[in-house]
Structure 1
Amino acid sequence: MQIVIIGSGNVAYHLAKAFVYKGIPIAQIFGRNEESLNKISEELQLSYSIKDLKDADLYIICVSDNSVEDVSKLITKKDCLVAHTSGSLPKEILKGEYRKSSLYPLQTFSKSKNLNYGKIPFFIEAENENDENILFELASKVSENVMKGSYEKRKYIHLTAVFACNFVNHLFARAKEISDSQEIPFEYFLPLIDETVQKIHEIEPKSAQTGPAVRNDVRVLQLHEQLLKDESLEIYKTMNHSIKKMYEL
């Protein structure tokens, strides 16, 4: 099966890397950013182009959500399967006379961070059972966790991921701002962060909650509010309100 990956960002890079590591041939990496494509090509020994899209059986679109529809129009072949990797878009966003599908890897990707691809969940959806089987077999060569997931289910998977990953990382960034302002090395907080994440492998998140809000420690809450301002203060109040409401304090 001839496979073309469209994109040059984090998802395209890691998907290409995962395929190469498992011996899955890639006919081409296609995209607009020649510098990024060249780096991927040199590392993974793949053919790339910014102009001519190769003929393929499967095209995997790994671009930003805002670009998926426009990029999908570049594929003019009719007898092929096209999959996007978005968690928040339906397969119908793809505009062409080909067979439409989605191949969503549930992970946060950065080019500089190595990943264990075998642990990344993949959610697949296609217009027919045969195409679902094609994607299932392909993803299963990379990952131990491959599931079928309709768009309705995938929307909630993506929403959960935003809470569990994007929001949490933003809180890390805000925490680092506070520690930096007091010249406290952020590295000192890494054991706490690691333990917090590791704990929910064994305990339900709701049961693992600690801190002044769950104890309704008014003195500490007021003290902290006096130390904060602007966005960080609003985040602090909002988070504590949510914690109190969850535990009905």
Structure 2
Amino acid sequence: MLKVILIGTGNISKFLFDVFISDPSVEMVQVVGRNEKALEHFSASTPVSNNFENLKEADVCIIAVNDNAIEEVSHRLNIKKGILVHTAGSISIEVLPKHLRRGVLYPLQTLSGIVPEKRREIPICVEAIQQEDYEVLHQLARCISDRVERIDSEQRKQLHLAAVFANNFSNHMYFLASEICKDHEVPFDLLRPLIRESCNKIMNFSPYEVQTGPARRGDVNILEEHLNMLNNKKLKEVYTTLSESIQETYGKKL
């Protein structure tokens, strides 16, 4: 049985806690965080504390705090044994104290509102300095998901960057589309079947194969018409930049 400590009380910590507390191969020995109110989520079934220097012994201590606090928090912890792990996509394993056994356990997913039956599909990216530590973290990651990948810090940073394009930027495009609809009293709901179908295609084909639209076709008249319809300078820049990128990808020019 793996003994685990969680440092932090946010979404990732709650997600991992809810997974581990129900797994017979994991023993949650402690949750540590600054926010006493947030600690109430964990206190019914696990010892909690706001003292970062007084930790119980565990096989794995997982830091699940804001990215910019990982290095500071990691150097405050008094760890005598076990592996110290963070969960961030864009932070190197090297920020963790070098005298400790170190690792990374990065869930590549937006965890707020994740439905339990989808949990096993979440890619878990694992990194460790020592092979024996990787094997421990791989075992722990398999408690979360069926998809565990060995990814080093540089690969993980690039994967996180790609995720920003695929998820955060695409969602912002949906927002901009909703604003255009709102400004012209058109229901955004009419776009949902199109969005759903596009997402479904990506699950089975490469993004390169499924690209459509006037920029892909090289339809200069429609591109110019759309630009004339946009009164917002920023939207014009976004539309132009994306259209140029699509045309460059497929060997066409505006």
Which TM-score applies when normalising by structure 2? 0.89
Structure 2: runs of 5+ lacking an equivalent: none
Alpha-carbon separation, structure 2, partners of 1:36 and 1:114 = 21
Closer, same or farther: CA 196–46 of 1 in aligned 2, 3 Å: farther
Q: Which moved more, 1:88-97 or 1:75-84?
A: 88-97
The answer on whether the counterparts of 2:30 and 2:56 sit within 8 Å (CA) in structure 1 is no
Within a 5 Å distance, the mapping from 1:30-45 to structure 2 comes to 30-38=32-40, 40-41=41-42, 45=45
Closer, same or farther: CA 37–181 of 1 in aligned 2, 3 Å: farther
Closer, same or farther: CA 17–185 of 1 in aligned 2, 3 Å: farther
The answer on whether the counterparts of 2:33 and 2:49 sit within 8 Å (CA) in structure 1 is yes
The answer on whether the counterparts of 1:102 and 1:125 sit within 8 Å (CA) in structure 2 is yes
Aligned to 2:49: 49
State which of 230, 233, 239 in structure 2 corresponds to 1:230: 233
What secondary structure, in the 3-state scheme, does the structure 2 residue paired with 1:63 have? Answer: coil
Alpha-carbon separation, structure 2, partners of 1:48 and 1:169 = 36
Once the two structures are TM-superposed, the CA of residue 96 in structure 1 deviates from its matched residue by 6.1
Alpha-carbon separation, structure 2, partners of 1:118 and 1:78 = 32
Q: Which amino acid aligns with 1:56?
A: E
Alpha-carbon separation, structure 2, partners of 1:18 and 1:231 = 43
The answer on whether the counterparts of 1:213 and 1:244 sit within 8 Å (CA) in structure 2 is yes
Which TM-score applies when normalising by structure 1? 0.90
Q: For each residue in 1:3-47, what CA deviation from the matched residue of structure 2 results, as whole angstroms up to 9, or x when unmatched? A: 111122222222222223434332222222333332x337x8444
Once the two structures are TM-superposed, the CA of residue 113 in structure 1 deviates from its matched residue by 4.2
Give the fraction of aligned pairs with identical amino acids, expressed as a percent.
Answer: 36
Q: Which amino acid aligns with 2:5?
A: V
Aligned to 2:81: 79
Aligned to 2:212: 210
State which of 62, 65, 80 in structure 2 corresponds to 1:63: 65
Aligned to 1:9: 10
Closer, same or farther: CA 204–25 of 1 in aligned 2, 3 Å: same
Within a 5 Å distance, the mapping from 1:180-199 to structure 2 comes to 180-199=182-201
Closer, same or farther: CA 128–96 of 1 in aligned 2, 3 Å: closer
State which of 113, 119, 122 in structure 2 corresponds to 1:120: 122
State which of 100, 106, 109 in structure 1 corresponds to 2:108: 106
- Does residue 137 of the first structure (1) align with residue 135 of the second (2)? no
Once the two structures are TM-superposed, the CA of residue 125 in structure 1 deviates from its matched residue by 1.0
- Does residue 245 of the first structure (1) align with residue 242 of the second (2)? no
Number of matched pairs: 246
Closer, same or farther: CA 206–77 of 1 in aligned 2, 3 Å: same
Segments of 4+ moved more than 6 angstroms: none
Q: What RMSD, in angstroms, separates the aligned Cα atoms of the two structures?
A: 1.9
The answer on whether the counterparts of 1:124 and 1:146 sit within 8 Å (CA) in structure 2 is yes
What secondary structure, in the 3-state scheme, does the structure 2 residue paired with 1:2 have? Answer: strand
Aligned to 1:172: 174
The answer on whether the counterparts of 1:8 and 1:37 sit within 8 Å (CA) in structure 2 is yes
Once the two structures are TM-superposed, the CA of residue 67 in structure 1 deviates from its matched residue by 0.8
The answer on whether the counterparts of 1:78 and 1:96 sit within 8 Å (CA) in structure 2 is no
Q: Which amino acid aligns with 1:166?
A: N
What secondary structure, in the 3-state scheme, does the structure 1 residue paired with 2:89 have? Answer: coil
Q: Which amino acid aligns with 2:48?
A: Y
The answer on whether the counterparts of 1:32 and 1:50 sit within 8 Å (CA) in structure 2 is yes
Closer, same or farther: CA 218–59 of 1 in aligned 2, 3 Å: same
Once the two structures are TM-superposed, the CA of residue 187 in structure 1 deviates from its matched residue by 2.2
